[in-house]
Amino acid sequence: MNAVLANARWELLRLLRSRRIFLLVIPVIAGPIGSALAFFYFGKMEPNGAVLTHGTALMLGLFVTGGLAGMVMLDLSALSAGEDLARRSHVIAFALPQSRSSVLLGRLLVVFGATLGVFSVGALGVWPIAGAIVPALPSDPHPLYDATHLFLAMLSLLFFLGAVTLNASIITKSSSEALVAGVLAGVVTAAAAFYFTYLHQISLLFPEVLLVVGAVALGWSFLRFERLES
């Protein structure tokens, strides 16, 4: 446990030195602000403001905040292992004084924990903003996605994207190629979600599958990282 915490502190220090830690501010600030701007824009498209309901506003705000958090997750998870594997041969060529799993776990505690945390804070900020700009009305139709379910689904999606990107960075030993793989995984997932929504077959099973696939990818990443060879 001491080794894991030491690696978590090192990852945090590395984010501070590289200034990448400021990426974590984006979902917290830009998410609610971008959502508010979108609420005003869509709410004024019709004179009576009927284009945007409260439920749709929440859904739009979660998509904005989740998209920003997704870009942060892709970037940080790709760099958490891929950067060292590409530039520091001792990670592969020599026996380390600690297990590689401890190295990876400590870094992921910071990357995954911080990204999921800032998304949660930004998403929770959407609720009061949506309520202030687009109040709920008894006549509002039911939104396409329930806001609470969408929030939980976004957490599953972020975890899935981070795990897939991490796995790709270990396989390719390149953060840039892992970033491309993560983007492709996000595009395929979004297309699948749109397809099932179009067929009216989307359910909570979809994010649950993402969570399981992400957990498998994460476990496989630890296994591969422990057995890396030059």
Amino acid 152: pLDDT? 93
Q: Who's near 76: CB < 8 A, 6+ residues apart?
A: 15, 20, 23, 111, 114, 115, 162
DSSP-assigned letters across all residues of 121-177 = HHHHHHHHHHHHHS---TTPPPPSS-HHHHHHHHHHHHHHHHHHHHHHHHHHS-HHH
What integer pLDDT is reported at residue 49 of this predicted model? 47
pLDDT of res. 192: 93
Q: What pLDDT was estimated at residue 94?
A: 43
pLDDT of residue 221: 87
Residue type, 85: L
pLDDT for residue 134: 75
pTM: 0.85
Please tell me the predicted confidence (pLDDT) of residue 190: 92
pLDDT mean by block of 10 residues, the chain; 230 residues: 76 81 88 80 55 78 91 88 58 54 83 92 88 75 83 94 91 85 93 89 90 93 75
Q: Which of 174, 196, 194 is nearest to 186 (CA)?
A: 194
Residue-level pLDDT at 97: 54
